[in-house]
A = this chain, B = another copy of it.
Amino acid sequence: MKQILLCELNMSEGTDKEKIEAVSGELRNTEGITIIDIDSDKDHNRTVYTWIGEPECVLRGAVNISSKALELINMAEHKGSHPRMGAIDVVPFVPVRNVSKEEALVIAERYGGWLGSVGVPVYYYEEAAKRPERESLVAIRKGQYEALPEKMKDEFWRPDEGPFSFVPRSGATVTGVRFPLVAFNVNLRTDELEIAREIATRMRFSSGGLRFVRAIGLPLEEKRMVQVSMNLTNYEKTPIPVVYNLIKTLAESYGVTIAEAELVGPVPMAALQDVVRTCLQVHKFEIDQIIESHLLG
């Protein structure tokens, strides 16, 4: 069975079209990968590249992009509204199909090792973290690029790869392995923000909810509704229909119904297996029954 790995490379350049085009060209010229998305944001001054393919090809894409980006981007001059600490800021590798966590970790560490070898300080995060306090991107990136000179004086922030010193031009890079995120939002037929917030509190892991759910309550002013906005960080262990059914029940306890739900962005085919199993009671449904699966090798 063919393996599919996904890489989502966050680069700190979102305004200079020539530079973005030069870097994008490196990805387009990488063999054996399929580009899913190239998304530049001017305010963030950031471009997110997303591509998939066999693990070796995906790794080659990351190296090709990074070489060019490190050549063109000088972090000492970078300004943008999105938190960042490096020219190549964050590079998660995401197993999509027939790739084990261990296989993805090997790829992430080969990428991190290469970055270190060309002089970029590298931190491993999420599943690739070498210490628990480096699992969270937010923790590693705290203070952003501007905090790096100070951090680099502290043994606690010794990088996992590359030099233990501040590199003004490249900054530092965070890479690692994470499961595919499923962004799942549920809109409630009420404008009482408090209800969305209370449900979000019940749903999310950090306050007693489901193990792989992050959730916040938000107002949707134009729609005069509120939203429970969630990230599902492991759809195998906390499947979408489990989240949906719990939130539906919680909403009922406030006399509120779900107006609509949203799956935002890409969803791995495997995440739909549990939707069919739970929602239609087809407990033996296998994703390989999908005709198109045969074309994926």
A residues apposed to B, CB below 8 Å: 4, 6, 34, 36, 52, 96-97, 180, 186, 240-241, 244, 258-263, 265-269, 272, 275-276, 279-285, 289-296
Given A34-B294, A36-B291, A263-B289, verify A241-B96 contact (CB < 8 Å).
Answer: no
Please give me the residue from chain B that is nearest to A51 by CB atom: B294
Given A272-B272, A280-B261, verify A52-B290 contact (CB < 8 Å).
Answer: no
On chain B, the residues within 8 Å of A261 by CB distance are 280-282
On chain B, the residues within 8 Å of A293 by CB distance are 292
In the bound complex, CA of A281 to CA of B295 (Å): 29
In the bound complex, CA of A281 to CA of B290 (Å): 22
Given A96-B292, A291-B52, verify A281-B269 contact (CB < 8 Å).
Answer: no
* B180 & A291 in contact (Cβ 8 Å cutoff): yes
In the bound complex, CA of A276 to CA of B275 (Å): 7
Please give me the residue from chain B that is nearest to A257 by CB atom: B281
- Distance (whole angstroms) from the CB of A256 to the closest CB of chain B: 13
* A260 & B289 in contact (Cβ 8 Å cutoff): no
* A267 & B289 in contact (Cβ 8 Å cutoff): yes
In the bound complex, CA of A285 to CA of B271 (Å): 13
Out of B262, B263, B289, name the residue touching A265 (CB < 8 Å).
B289
* A294 & B244 in contact (Cβ 8 Å cutoff): no
Out of B262, B275, B284, B296, name the residue touching A295 (CB < 8 Å).
B296
In the bound complex, CA of A44 to CA of B296 (Å): 32
- Contacts A263-B282, A266-B290 known; 4 new A-B pairs at CB < 8 A: A260-B281, A263-B276, A279-B280, A296-B296
In the bound complex, CA of A97 to CA of B280 (Å): 23
On chain B, the residues within 8 Å of A276 by CB distance are 263, 272, 275
On chain B, the residues within 8 Å of A291 by CB distance are 4, 6, 36, 52, 96, 180, 266-269
In the bound complex, CA of A279 to CA of B282 (Å): 13
* A290 & B269 in contact (Cβ 8 Å cutoff): yes
* A4 & B290 in contact (Cβ 8 Å cutoff): no
In the bound complex, CA of A262 to CA of B286 (Å): 11
On chain B, the residues within 8 Å of A96 by CB distance are 291-292
* B279 & A279 in contact (Cβ 8 Å cutoff): yes
On chain B, the residues within 8 Å of A282 by CB distance are 260-263
